Amino acid sequence: MKQIKINQDNVYLLLPNKVAQLANRLVDNGLVSDEISAIRMVYNSSVYAKLEIEQTKYWWLGINALYEELIEKL
C-alpha cells in the first residue's frame, strides 16, 4: 500500500472529520445549542486556522487536545 504524505495541498482532506467531532462536542457539552452554530464556531476559531496550515501539525492532534484549546479561546 502506498503511503500518502500530508502536505499543504491535501491537509484539507483531514479537516471535515475534525470539525464535525469538535462541533458535536460543543453541542453535547451545551456550549452551543445547534450543530450549524457549532460548525461556524469551529471554522471561525484560531484552532481551525492552525489546522488549515500543514506546518503547524495540528491535524495530528487528537480531538481532546483540539477541543481543550478551542474552549480555552472562547
**Can you give the residue ranges of every domain in the chain?**
24-72
In whole angstroms, give the CA distance from residue 21 to residue 17: 6
What digits encode the pLDDT tens for the residues 27-42?
A: 999 999 999 999 999 9
Which positions of the chain have pLDDT values less than 70? none
- Per DSSP, the three-state class of 51 is helix
